[in-house]
Amino acid sequence: MFKITETRLRIRADQPVHRMQTGISMPSGRPVTIKAASRCLLLLVTAVFVRAGNAGTFEPSQKDFYVYPPYCKAKMADLPENRKHVWRNKFPVDEQQVAFWKRQLGPDWYDLEQYCAGLTHISRANDIGWLRSNKESAAAEFRAAAAAINQARLRSAPRNPFWQELSLRYAEAIGGAGQYAEAMKVLQDVTALNPKNTNAYVLHARLTARRGDLNAAIAQLEAGLAAGAGRGPILYYLASDYYELGDYKRAREYAQQAEQAGMKMDNLKSRLPDE
């Protein structure tokens, strides 16, 4: 999983052994000695192993694993901690799924366990029962999710197949932790790359509504409709937001359109007053 770039030391034959030089120079032009280069290499290798250790610190529970999307199941099952029975739980390894998702996700596969750990933290942040029983706060879980997911996101790139999903979940996490400005910037980056990303408009609207600005949330959803994003989820939240504003006429209209787009609107419609 981890690549260490080979470093070749160029040693001059006329140098005494205790002052052999690497052929590498500082910006000042001073050559770097073998001893100094060795220290740098040691720091590099230590950093790599620290990262490897950090990747294995999160162990999903049986519940976490079985609610994961297929690519997370494949990734977590493929980790050495699972294959070598280091974890308390042993998760089944589907080699065909592992191979399939490696191909699908490309370079994003290699840090996917961080994203999967982040999903678990987001789930916990939204689970009041879990938070109470474990005496944790939603904000702390969202921060943990953001830290994990961002490790994978920073090693990805907009051209990569999973970058948009990494960015969406990162925005959800930092937004849940109260960092709304950063979350909005991330979501704007996503829609700039893909103007039809339905989830970006919906998440932007949900975070905006959470701050109490329903009109701005509605404007964001309408922008998604105009851009040609998926109609069903956007119409669903338009109906919901107009209901919260007390505009029952528009809420009813959007609820009907959402139903036609395949969304279930029975709950909202049952709360709407008679015409």
What is the model's pLDDT at position 21?
A: 40
Note whether 226 and 168 are same-domain residues.
no
What is the model's pLDDT at position 36?
A: 54
Note whether 206 and 169 are same-domain residues.
no
Note whether 174 and 254 are same-domain residues.
no
What is the model's pLDDT at position 30?
A: 53
Q: Is residue 264 part of a domain?
A: yes
Strand 21-25 to 31-33 pairing: antiparallel
What is the model's pLDDT at position 274?
A: 82
Q: Is the pLDDT of residue 55 over 60?
A: no
Q: Is the pLDDT of residue 32 over 90?
A: no
Note whether 274 and 202 are same-domain residues.
yes
Q: 202: domain range? A: 195-275
100-110 pLDDT tens trace: 999 999 999 99
Helix (H, G, I), strand (E, B) or coil at 224: helix
- Greatest C-alpha distance within the chain: 96
165-189 pLDDT tens trace: 999 999 999 999 999 999 999 999 9
Which stretch of 47-56, 89-98, 201-210 has the lowest confidence by average pLDDT? Answer: 47-56
Q: Model confidence at 20, in pLDDT bands (50, 70, 90)?
A: very low
What is the model's pLDDT at position 37?
A: 52
Q: Is the pLDDT of residue 97 over 70?
A: yes
What is the model's pLDDT at position 1?
A: 39
Q: How many domains are contained in the chain? A: 2
Note whether 216 and 163 are same-domain residues.
no
What average pLDDT score do residues 181-207 get?
A: 96
Q: Model confidence at 57, in pLDDT bands (50, 70, 90)?
A: low
Cα angle: 11, vertex 15, 16; to 5 degrees: 120
User: Are the C-beta atoms of residues 239 and 272 closer than 8 Å to each other?
Assistant: no
- How far, in Å, CA of 273 to CA of 270, rounded? 8
Q: Which of 179, 212, 227 is the last residue of a domain?
A: 179
What average pLDDT score do residues 141-166 get?
A: 96
Q: Is residue 45 part of a domain?
A: no
243-253 pLDDT tens trace: 999 999 999 99
What average pLDDT score do residues 42-56 get?
A: 42
Q: Is residue 256 part of a domain?
A: yes
Note whether 144 and 210 are same-domain residues.
no
Q: Is residue 270 part of a domain?
A: yes
> What is the DSSP secondary-structure string of 122-184?
HHHHT-HHHHHHHT--HHHHHHHHHHHHHHHHHTS-TTSTTHHHHHHHHHHHHHHTT-HHHHH
Note whether 151 and 228 are same-domain residues.
no
Q: Is residue 38 part of a domain?
A: no
> Phi and psi for 22 in degrees, rounded to 5?
-90, -15
Residue 65: closest CA among 20, 129, 107, 117: 117
Q: Is residue 87 part of a domain?
A: yes
Q: Is the pLDDT of residue 12 over 60?
A: no
Helix (H, G, I), strand (E, B) or coil at 248: helix
What is the model's pLDDT at position 4?
A: 31
Q: Is the pLDDT of residue 42 over 60?
A: no
What is the model's pLDDT at position 65?
A: 95
Which stretch of 32-46, 194-208, 242-256 has the lowest confidence by average pLDDT? Answer: 32-46
Q: Which of 121, 153, 179 is the last residue of a domain?
A: 179
Q: What is the CATH number of the domain that holds 272?
A: 1.25.40.10
Note whether 106 and 213 are same-domain residues.
no
Q: Is residue 104 part of a domain?
A: yes
Instruction: List, in sequence order, every residue forming a beta bridge with 21; answer none if it has no partner.
Output: 33
208-260 pLDDT tens trace: 999 999 999 999 999 999 999 999 999 999 999 999 999 999 999 999 999 99
Note whether 164 and 86 are same-domain residues.
yes
Note whether 89 and 135 are same-domain residues.
yes
Q: Is the pLDDT of residue 16 over 90?
A: no
Distances (CA, A) of 258 to 26, 133, 241: 64, 37, 13
Note whether 204 and 170 are same-domain residues.
no
Q: Which of 150, 179, 208 is the last residue of a domain?
A: 179
Average pLDDT, the chain: 84
Q: Is residue 142 part of a domain?
A: yes
Note whether 142 and 237 are same-domain residues.
no
